[in-house]
Chain A
């Protein structure tokens, strides 16, 4: 089983649509969770961290379910500029303090159409 698995996509949605991405992780000791976005041939950029209580940033809502080892990202009222690959990222961490090693999913490509 892969450490971080995401919806394979691609997702094609019209402007204004609501779209949800799902992600599962295999290591129950994982400590930190993030969503990054990556535009074509560009670097990953942090979109938002994901907290156990769930968190929202404008049109973006992230949820974490530790019991199910599941992370989600919801985008409301999607814009053309939301077109990108969305990366689910987990920090496994360890008792030795190696909580810097980010583990990336393969990403889900979103295209928002006019």
Chain B
């Protein structure tokens, strides 16, 4: 039973390029969360998605960042026109979340380490 998969594990981009980060949730999980960990900082919530729906993107920067979770395929976090400050570890988590009134355990993927030159 594979865990949360993320790819690539490491991504290097030059300023102004686009970065695409992929996340495949655990089997049976339909809820995906993206977090960002800046150097020497704690993880910060970015966005929560269900299949074909963005539920909460309150942690996403207003510009250049977008996320999707299509009916088929992995969730994608897209960063356009990257800047050096985007360099961070981006973690995806998934949960089964069968009830809106309970907190399901979030299982984290290995992360994508983005370096912007």
Which A residues contact B (CB, under 8 angstroms)? Answer: 4, 31-32, 41-46, 87, 91, 93, 97-107
Chain B nearest CB from A46 CB (Å) reads: 6
* CB atoms of B56 and A42 under 8 A apart: no
Contact of A101 with B48 at beta-carbon distance under 8 Å, contacts A44-B91, A91-B103, A106-B42 already known: yes
* CB atoms of A44 and B108 under 8 A apart: yes
Which B residues contact A (CB, under 8 angstroms)? Answer: 31, 33, 35, 40-45, 48, 56, 58-59, 89, 91, 95, 97, 100-111, 113
Chain A nearest CB from B74 CB (Å) reads: 16
Most buried by A among B44, B102, B106, B109: B106
Residue of B nearest to A6 (CB): B42
* CB atoms of B48 and A104 under 8 A apart: no
Chain A nearest CB from B47 CB (Å) reads: 10
Most buried by B among A42, A91, A100, A106: A100
Q: Which listed residue (B42, B56, B100, B113) contacts A104, Cβ 8 A?
A: B42
Majority-rule SS of A interface residues: loop
* CB atoms of A100 and B108 under 8 A apart: no
Chain B nearest CB from A35 CB (Å) reads: 13
Taking CB atoms, residues of chain B closer than 8 Å to A106 are: 40-42
Q: Report the Cα distance A53→B17, complex, angstroms.
A: 51
Residue of A nearest to B92 (CB): A43
Chain B nearest CB from A84 CB (Å) reads: 14
Taking CB atoms, residues of chain B closer than 8 Å to A104 are: 35, 42-44
Chain A nearest CB from B58 CB (Å) reads: 8
Taking CB atoms, residues of chain A closer than 8 Å to B107 are: 46
* CB atoms of B103 and A31 under 8 A apart: yes
